[in-house]
Structure 1
Amino acid sequence: MEIANFGVEEWLNVWENDAVYDIAGSSIASFTLEELISIDGTNPKEFFDKIFDVKMNYGWIEGSPEFKQQVSKLYKNVPPECILQTNGATGANLLALYSLIEPNDHVIAMHPSYQQLFDIPRSLGAEVSLWEIYEENDWMPDLEELKSMIRPNTKMICLNNANNPTGTVLDDQLLKEIVAIASEVGAYILVDEVYKPLDPNQQVSSIVDLYDKGIATNSLSKTYSVPGVRVGWTASNQEVADIFRKYRDYTMICSGVLDDVIAVHTLKNKEAVLNRNREIVFTNLEILKEWAKHEPRVSLVFPKAVSTSFIHLDIPIDVEDFCIDLLKTKGVLLVPGNRFDVPEHARLGYCTKTETLKKGLAELSSYLRKFD
């Protein structure tokens, strides 16, 4: 099986540990374990005292009943038995694609987007059509283009909502139109939903609540600020969940016992977690907007209260060379846009700690002055 190098992950694997100001990531500032456990007033020592006698066996293979119950509450019509725990959303996406995509299938994938969603289908022998999103249209796609791409053998449409790296959000009206197009040929719609818009005035439904052949993947890594537990999940109808069960046995046995415990605690306190993260998003977004207003070499379509942004850089050099030299001279880490097949851009993770964002943006502006 041939597969392309994973651009974003390959970049971060090489450069992430060299950063002084890491403003490349797409998670909201991660919790410490103490902060997470105590978010509801729980004493961390008492919390861990209670689990000292937990056996370090395989635990619940598909995720504990408590985990499945908590995740099912995130959806309108998905019962716990249709929730399968995975190794992060990357594991969830892999499971869904590995289970359903075969050679000669046709797949339509949003682009730019998370690379798994188009390069895994290619590696499995599918023909992939890229459904572009356009900066001049606020990084939104064109429905007429989707209609022109659909074929009788279109097996799946792959979306990332909200989108990584741009922060674009597909609202319910647009999702329903995509559902109508997919249903004409019975295609699945797989949506990586790890980036939840945190604007309380913006309601975006999960694809599984809009379409019977919708498949949602998600995790605790981005919106919930707990990437360290490596817990994600799939949500689907019963028929699809049963297909996934067979293939899941080949891709993983279970998540860790302690990871499941921490995941349950996080989900039980999701409102407190989201309130904390909403404050970070809106505080830092205002900082980003004010900075961009006064930075002549940067423009961007501002994200819709999600944790990733994609800046357009007015620079006379290759963007990857720019990002490497920026890191080496100023300690500022970005992800160059060519890692998403979009030159002259960079992913800027503005939802890091506020002080890190302020210092990182100041150093980025200082570096950009060399091109004036």
Structure 2
Amino acid sequence: MKIPEFGVEGWLNVHEREAKYDLAQSTITSFSMNELVKLTDSDVYGELDQQKMNYGWIEGSPTFKKEVSKLYKNVDPDNVLQTNGATGANMLAIYSLIEPGDHVISVYPSYQQLYDIPKSLGADVSFWKLHEEDNWYPDIEDLKKMIRPNTKMICINNANNPTGTILDRKFMEQVVEVAKTVGAYVLVDEVYLPFDDSVDFAPIIDLYDKGISTNSLSKTYSMPGIRVGWTATNSELADLFRKYRDYTMICSGVFSDQAACVVLQNRDKVLARNKKIVLDNLKIFKDWVERTPKVSCVFPNGVSTSFIKMDTKKSSIDFCRDLLKDTGVLLVPGEAFDVPGHARLGYCAPTETLKKGLEVLGDYLEKN
């Protein structure tokens, strides 16, 4: 199996430890364990003292499954499978369903897994392109033209990585109608929950029986360090995924499951903390864009990632490399998403890091 280098992950793997001002991440400011314990008033360590360090619950504990099922309208806890982050969830779904000769449609640009893993498995992949001039929305008419009798799956980020655009309920209902014409699955990576109350967001499993919702605690819930994600599907797909899951992972681990349960059981407190970070930092970011001549942005829908367009003398990859070396500010160049001239900017870093990083970035843009 041949597969290209993973652009965004390859860049971060090399450079993220060099950053003084890390504005590349799309996680809302990560929790420390101390902060999580204080916020939730939980006895994580006391409970952990009583745990046997065995494999634990293979598919995720009953508490975990129940709490995840509450995020959807009609998903039985038994149809929730714990995975190694959303990357594991996406991999599980694609690995279980895609075969050589299948046709897959993927939103583009998006998280690279969603098109390069199907390609590596022998699928024919068509790109359903986002349009910057249309607020990074795709055209539903383009999807209708792309659909084929052998289209097995439509793959979407919602919200999109890197742009932060949310495809709303009405639009996703149109996607479902197109998918139904050929019986295609719709896989949606939903790791970014919008904190913009004006956005009507709906998980795909709430809209379509052949929808596959993947998610994790890494972005919206600020806990990437425990590497917990999940798939939420109908019972037929859950049973199919179980077979393939046995080949790819055993469990997430006792501690990770326990920490995940604390986060999910205290979801309201966690989301209140994170909504404030997102909306406060987004205002700082918008103000900076408005007063910085060489930058423009289609602002995200209250999610933690954004995609700026830069007017620079260099390519965006050279600019980002030199920016890091000269100032310590880390962005992800647009080339990692096959969109030169842009950069992913994670504005949900700690607020002081964001303010200083943007100040340094603005000064550097003026000179380059």
Query: When the two structures are superposed, what TM-score results if normalisation uses the length of structure 2?
Result: 0.99
Q: Distance in 2 between matches of 1:186 and 1:312?
A: 38
Name 1:49's counterpart in structure 2. Answer: 46
For residues 55 and 81 of structure 1, the distance between their equivalents in structure 2, rounded to whole angstroms, comes to 24
Partner of 1:106: 103
How many positions carry a matched residue from both structures?
Answer: 368
Deviation for aligned residue 1:200: 2.8
Q: How does 1:183-332 map to 2 (within 5 A)?
A: 183-332=180-329
Q: Is the 2:105–2:153 Cα contact (8 Å) retained in structure 1?
A: yes
- Residue of structure 2 equivalent to 1:2: 2
Amino acid paired to 1:17:
R
Shift of 1:40: 2.6
**Counterpart mapping for 1:345-356 below 5 A:** 345-356=342-353
Unaligned runs of 5+ in 2: none
CA distance, structure 2, for counterparts of residue 50 and residue 226 of structure 1:
19
The aligned runs of 1:351-370 (5 Å cut-off) are: 351-370=348-367
CA distance in 1, matches of 2:238, 2:268: 27
How far apart, in 1, do the equivalents of 2:33 and 2:197 lie?
27
Match of residue 29 from structure 1: 29
Distance 2:163 2:44 in 1: 38
Distance, in Å, in 1 between the alignment partners of 2:268 and 2:280 is 18
Counterpart CA distance in 1 for 2:323 and 2:264 is: 38
Q: Give the aligned residue type for 1:85.
A: Q
Equivalent pair of 2:40/2:262 in contact (CA under 8 Å): no
**Which deviations, in whole Å up to 9, do the C-alpha atoms of 1:161-199 show, x marking residues without a partner?**
000000010000000000000000000000000000012
Deviation of the 1:202 alpha carbon: 2.4
CA distance in 2, matches of 1:326, 1:51: 43
Give, in angstroms, the shift of residue 322 of structure 1: 0.5
Residue 49 of structure 1 and its aligned partner are, at CA, apart by 2.0
Indicate the SS of the match to 1:141.
coil
State the superposition RMSD in angstroms: 0.7
Structure 1: distance between partners of 2:208 and 2:50? 43
Query: Which stretches in structure 1 are left out of the alignment for 5+ residues?
Result: none
What secondary structure does 2:186 align onto? strand
Deviation at 1:201, TM superposition (A): 3.3
The residue number in structure 1 matching 2:335 is: 338
Q: TM-score scaled to structure 1, two decimals?
A: 0.98
Q: Whole-Å Cα distance in 2 between the matches of residues 154 and 47 of structure 1? A: 46
Question: What is the aligned partner in structure 2 of residue 179 from structure 1?
Answer: 176
Task: Indicate conservation of the 8 Å contact 2:135/2:298, yes or no.
Answer: yes
Equivalents in 2 of 1:49, 1:185: separation in Å?
A: 52
Report deviation, 1:112: 0.3
